[in-house]
Amino acid sequence: MLIGMAAAAALALAAPDAASNSGYASVNGVKLYYEVRGAGAPVVLLHGGINTLETTFANLMPELARKYRVVAVEQVGHGHSPDTEAPRTYEEMADDTAALLGHLGITGADLIGWSDGGIIALLVAIRHPERVRRVVASGANIRLDALSPAFVKWAKAVAPDDKSLDKVRLAYERVSPDGPAHWPTLLARDRALWLQPVIIEKGRLATVKAPTLVVSGDGDSVLVEHAVEFYRTLPDAQLCVLPATGHNTFVPRAAWLLPMLTSFLDAPDKTTK
């Protein structure tokens, strides 16, 4: 059922007026596009670098919205959100996300992030712990040497018109208020983020109090060894390594992940008697 709904979900995500509630919020001097679907406990979806909600969560978002109040955010310069003159850092994007949650009156949300979205989710948990109850981070890394040499080589060399980027580029071009000509700028800005030597210091990662589910593909561009280190550094964490899976997890493995995610999100808090 999840896979059969993919095409319809992608169309719904691509059109702002198709969401049950969508719009723009002005926070921290920027405009962020967001969609809200469903009802229940708040679950925040954070897409990957150069990606959109459609390309990251098309298969998962409609299923989660059956049970939760899903708040899906597109970061500055991504998807429907206009870019700024200066590039945004991961820390700024985390602050933007927290400010959006404040704008919507949300505290204690569960954050689900893929790749750059996983990094942002962890930084929200570090910088704004009052906004976060639980975190799911898939394919997130805290430093450059956690990435496979093949990915680093690709990231340094990939051109805006590379065929491997066709899907995400076309999704961007369909919805970006900045227009197709801005795509090379987005790629250059995200490339600079990916190639930072250190993204989150290990000591800061150890301060995350929110229970965290670390997700990795066994063929992820973020090395499995790093996912294990990541899991062991966090004070309260679980680890899920998906077989025969690369960096992209939430789209091709939605049917596998949905029951794991709901089990993790619905588990009683340790303080609950």
234: region left, alpha or beta (phi > 0 left; psi from -120 to 50 alpha): beta
Q: What is the pLDDT of residues 141-175, one digit of tens each?
A: 999 999 999 999 999 999 999 999 999 999 999 99
CATH of the domain at 197: 3.40.50.1820
Task: Between 74 and 271, name the one with better pLDDT.
Answer: 74
Residue 31 placed within a domain: yes
Q: What is the pLDDT of residues 44-58, one digit of tens each?
A: 999 999 999 999 999
Residue 272 placed within a domain: no
pLDDT value for 270: 80
The CA distance from 96 to 219, in Å, is 31
Residue 232: enclosing H or E segment and its boundaries?
A: helix 224-233
Closest C-alpha to 49, from 90, 82, 110, 80: 90
Averaged pLDDT for residues 60-65: 96
Number of CB atoms found within 10 A of residue 204's CB: 15
The CA distance from 85 to 156, in Å, is 23
Residue 248 placed within a domain: yes
Q: What is the pLDDT of residues 71-122, one digit of tens each?
A: 999 999 999 999 999 999 999 999 999 999 999 999 999 999 999 999 999 9
- Confidence at 5, pLDDT banded by 50, 70, 90: very low
Q: Which domain holds residue 178?
A: 6-266
Residue 249 placed within a domain: yes
Q: What percent of the chain has pLDDT over 90?
A: 90
pLDDT value for 271: 60
Q: Is the pTM of this model over 0.85?
A: yes
DSSP label of 71:
E
For the purposes of burial, counting CB atoms within 10 Å of the CB of 237, is it exposed (0-12), middle (13-18) or buried (19 or more)? middle
pLDDT value for 130: 96
pLDDT value for 8: 38
Q: What is the pLDDT of residues 192-224, one digit of tens each?
A: 999 999 999 999 999 999 999 999 999 999 999
Residue 127 placed within a domain: yes
Q: What is the pLDDT of residues 16-43, one digit of tens each?
A: 334 478 999 999 999 999 999 999 999 9
Q: What is the pLDDT of residues 108-141, one digit of tens each?
A: 999 999 999 999 999 999 999 999 999 999 999 9
Residue 213: enclosing H or E segment and its boundaries?
A: strand 212-217
Query: Per the structure, how many domains does the chain have?
Result: 1
DSSP label of 18:
G
Residue 188 placed within a domain: yes
Residue 1 placed within a domain: no
Averaged pLDDT for residues 5-16: 39
Averaged pLDDT for residues 221-239: 97
Tell me which long-range contacts 87-91 makes (C-beta under 8 A, separation of at least 24). 87/189, 87/192, 87/193, 88/30, 88/189, 89/193, 90/116, 90/119, 90/120, 90/123, 90/193, 90/199, 91/123, 91/127
Averaged pLDDT for residues 172-187: 98
| Average pLDDT value over all residues in the chain | 92
Residue 180 placed within a domain: yes
Strands 42-46 and 109-114: parallel
